Amino acid sequence: MHNYKIHPWKIIQNGWDPDKVMESESIFSIGNGSMGQRANFEEDFSGKTHQGSYVAGVYYPDKTKVGWWKNGYPKYFAKVINAPSWIGISVLIDEIPIDLNKVYKVEMLERILDMKNGLYERSISFKTKDNLKVEINSKRFISLKRKSIGAISYNIKCNRDVNITASPYIDYDISNEDSNWDEKFWETKEKINTQNRSLVKSSVKKTDFNVITFMKADLYDNNVKLENPFIAKSNSKKILLESKYSLKKGHTLKVVKFGGYVNSICNDWNKIENKTNEVLKLLENMSFESLYLEHKHEWSKIWGKSDVKIKGDIKSQQAIRFNIFQLNQTYRGDNPNLNFGPKGFTGEKYGGSTYWDTEAYCVPFCLGTKPQEVTLNLLNYRYNQLDKAIDNAKILGFKNGAALFPMVTMNGEECHNEWEITFEEIHRNNAIAYAIFNYTRYTGDSKYLNNKGLEVLVGICRFWAQRVSYSNKKKKYVILGVTGPNEYENNVNNNWYTNYSTKWCLEFAVDTISIMKKDNPESFEKLFKKLNLKESELDYWLKISKNIYLNENKDLGVFVQQDGFFDKELSEVEKLDYSDRPLNQNWSWDRILRSPYIKQADVLQGIYFFEDKFDIKSIRSNYEFYEKFTVHESSLSPCIHSIVACKLGKTESAYYLFKRASRLDLDDYNKEVNEGLHITSMAGSWLAIVEGFAGMRIKNNSLHFTPSLPKKWEELMFKITFRQNIYTIKINKGLFQCSLNINKNFYIYVNSKKLKFDRNGKASVSI
Ligand code: BGC
């Protein structure tokens, strides 16, 4: 494990460990929602690395590879592709390439991620055998203000006169590590490389996404700009701008490099090229510093709406900012074709695609920290893919407009291909329904629900109406052959979470339609006609919801995760040997399936979503029982348990789980940070603070809080966007304070007590 220094706004790493480069590449990743990259070195590196630079929404349909083909498998897995890389600067000193894997002695390496300003900085000093000492400092950011632009300021200093060859380049010979058939996904169409214009035009095979990767570079000696320093060159992998320079002892040679991608959804080369020309023109009048200033300003706006301050616990402070920072680097909310990939731009695993993580975790984060249009874009993303969800269900034999949203998708088509997940982890449909409910409850805006949401809900309900079976033995509707959120069980019957969330979803749809019928008969008629909906369908949905099988172990007072759970040897997680963890890296799959160990919140995910439906006794017994068997080997798990623990007044257990959620990557709990960060679960850390320790809920159009801080925390402060207003909440041991950005006659509730804001927009109460 790397030890990052604890700092409220920075991630700082000191020391050189060539075997841990990939971990650091993930942690120090940067992005701006439109593109992003791992923190690869600019100069050459022959050690273990994962070169990764990604363009949002650009994917390759990689032909499915499975051992045994199952009917219904999608033909391809859409993969976010590793794009041509614009960050490279190859450096030779006295003809010897700099390669940290080969230099004689690395004396110092420091990486700093400044989260306040969105800047990644790296400093190194190393010695060669003949006592040449080289110092490098590089700063890098990807502009939040200008979607296509990233910038690097790369400085080299030596302790004697040297001849340096410094060549900024674009590497277009790129492949994905996770390519199924070792294919290259890109086709290079054209390379242009002159002193002032260096670009590579590439198209993604099959999907024809067109992308221009560009760069522009300048060279400075002790801050004096050198005139025409470069000769444009190219080889079969790179275009480069080569400069040979005699650098005096103690002088600093600085390469300022701008680069990035221009792409267009409409795939029109002329348009993309014109846009690239505009970007290059703009860069003639901008410096690293001026771009950085406006970038910093954008970050200050984000923090102004979403910062969380924790007094008394810098480790948690650092962690929550890291989580908020990475979420904002991944998704900006201005494009309904984009979404949160579980690994964002920090790795290839999970294909960069959309999962139920968005609706279950990221939607509430966006609701609380962004204008409501951002969440609307996420909802529209699914609405726009409804036809494909209907096609997806059709392929599996469903009819009459039944919709099954994909487990993993880039464009609405399913691209996951493990039968137990693709065909069976169907609870994802209900998270999409829940997000529609959540948005409506949070914003008070029912336009989406009535115009588009209901269409989605009807598709989902039609799916359930066909997916359930009636058990004559149980006299109940059952759902057979599913995988619940806990992926350490496959192909089970009556997963409680799936059954319960289906019951809820059917009821929610029928209730919404009944309200529409009463309040807005015209829209009701229109909807019925458009969807060819029948009253008898609604009756059937209600019948299912009232008679769905929900198994309970009455002796223990717990819901049964799935049929047969209690046949297992119920040995608790506590008894597991540390060397067995994580189980998925150490145990055979069948052993995992037979074990009682739960990968992630399952019954408790349901209790979390629908807590109002359960009494506190039942919440307590379910939490106490299931926490004992949960290994939290999905990043999505500890945050949910933490929120439920807070609800039960188990604040210190909640705190332990919160740390695990929020520092999952920084402390590499699941031993996989080298593959990339867990972006979507970072939203869960935020939820653990806001819904957990502050106990925030939306009830009857108002904000409610039941605060309880961990012992270590002296004070918690955060901002919440609620119905267009920004609430600043401050909680310390004895006092709850809230201030509002406008003077309005609003109320909030703290521990069920109604609080009115005073004339200055402030409200407070002892707690
Ligand atoms: C989890 C899923 C999740 C996926 C992507 C898996 O490990 O079990 O629930 O959707 O990761 O984050």
CATH of the domain at 292: 2.70.98.40
Structure tokens at 294: 């406006």
- At 647-685, the pLDDT tens digits run 999 999 999 999 999 999 999 998 999 999 999 999 999
For the CA atoms of 65, 69, 71, 76, what is the dihedral angle to 10 degrees?
A: 10
Structure tokens at 191: 């390379």
pLDDT of the residue at 266: 60
**Interacting residues of 758 by C-beta distance below 8 A, sequence separation 6+:** none
**How high does pLDDT run on average in the chain?**
96
Q: Is residue 640 part of a domain?
A: yes
Q: Is the pLDDT of residue 45 over 70?
A: yes
In the structure, which protein residues have their CB atom closer than 6 angstroms to any atom of ligand 1? Answer: 342, 350, 355-357, 485, 487, 599-600, 634, 636, 680
pLDDT of the residue at 210: 94
Q: Is the pLDDT of residue 268 over 90?
A: no
Ligand 1 midpoint to CA 486 (Å): 9
Cα-based angle 383, 511, 399 (whole degrees, multiple of 5): 50
Positions marked active-site:
487
Higher pLDDT, 744 or 399: 399
Out of 80, 343, 357, 416, mutate this one to test ligand 1's pocket (max ligand atoms within 8 Å of CB): namely 357
Residues 61 and 147 in one domain: yes
Out of 355, 589, 605, mutate this one to test ligand 1's pocket (max ligand atoms within 8 Å of CB): namely 355
Q: Is residue 595 part of a domain?
A: no
Q: Is residue 4 part of a domain?
A: no
| Burial of 228: CB neighbours in 10 Å, binned 0-12, 13-18, 19+ | exposed
Question: Once rounded to an integer, what is the mean pLDDT over residues 193-204?
Answer: 92
Q: What are phi and psi of 36, to 5 degrees?
A: -170, 170
Structure tokens at 577: 């040997």
Ligand 1 midpoint to CA 630 (Å): 15
Q: Is the pLDDT of residue 264 over 80?
A: no
Q: Is residue 3 part of a domain?
A: no
**Interacting residues of 107 by C-beta distance below 8 A, sequence separation 6+:** 125, 126, 127, 133
Q: What are phi and psi of 247, to 5 degrees?
A: -100, 130
Q: Is residue 531 part of a domain?
A: yes
Residues 98 and 246 in one domain: yes
Residues 537 and 677 in one domain: no
Q: Please state the domain count of the chain.
A: 3
Residues 274 and 410 in one domain: no
Q: Is the pLDDT of residue 1 over 60?
A: no
Residues 269 and 411 in one domain: no
> Does the pTM exceed 0.85?
yes
**Interacting residues of 223 by C-beta distance below 8 A, sequence separation 6+:** 252, 254
Q: Which helix (H) or strand (E) holds 261?
A: strand 252-263
pLDDT category, 267, cuts 50, 70, 90?
Answer: low
pLDDT category, 505, cuts 50, 70, 90?
Answer: very high
Q: Is residue 580 part of a domain?
A: no
- At 696-726, the pLDDT tens digits run 999 999 999 999 999 999 999 999 999 999 9
Q: Is the pLDDT of residue 54 over 90?
A: yes
pLDDT of the residue at 195: 79
How much of the chain, in percent, has pLDDT values that exceed 90? 91
Residues 676 and 569 in one domain: no
Residues 291 and 323 in one domain: no
Do the Cβ atoms of 187 and 73 come closer than 8 Å? no
Pick the residue whose CA is nearest to atom 12 on ligand 1: 342
Q: Pick from 155, 156, 121, 108: which is nearest to 30 by CA?
A: 121
**Which phi-psi region, left, alpha or beta, contains residue 477 (left: φ > 0; alpha: ψ -120 to 50)?**
beta
Pick the residue whose CA is nearest to atom 9 on ligand 1: 485
Q: Which helix (H) or strand (E) holds 519?
A: helix 496-519
Q: Pick from 486, 485, 468: which is nearest to 477 by CA?
A: 468
Residues 333 and 286 in one domain: no
Q: What is the distance between the terminal CA atoms of the chain, rounded to a whole angstrom? A: 39
Residues 457 and 345 in one domain: no
Q: 428-443 and 454-467 helices cross at what angle (nearest 10)?
A: 150
- At 596-631, the pLDDT tens digits run 999 999 999 999 999 999 999 999 999 999 999 999
pLDDT of the residue at 265: 63
pLDDT of the residue at 745: 79
Range of the domain at 761: 309-349+632-767
User: What is the 8-class DSSP label of residue 487?
Assistant: T
Residues 26 and 80 in one domain: yes
Pick the residue whose CA is nearest to atom 6 on ligand 1: 634
Q: Is the pLDDT of residue 229 over 80?
A: yes
Residues 287 and 321 in one domain: no
Lowest mean pLDDT among 341-355, 599-613, 637-651: 341-355
Residues 138 and 43 in one domain: yes
Q: Is residue 362 part of a domain?
A: no
Question: Once rounded to an integer, what is the mean pLDDT over residues 141-170?
Answer: 98
Structure tokens at 117: 């300003």
Ligand 1 midpoint to CA 710 (Å): 28
Ligand 1 midpoint to CA 417 (Å): 14
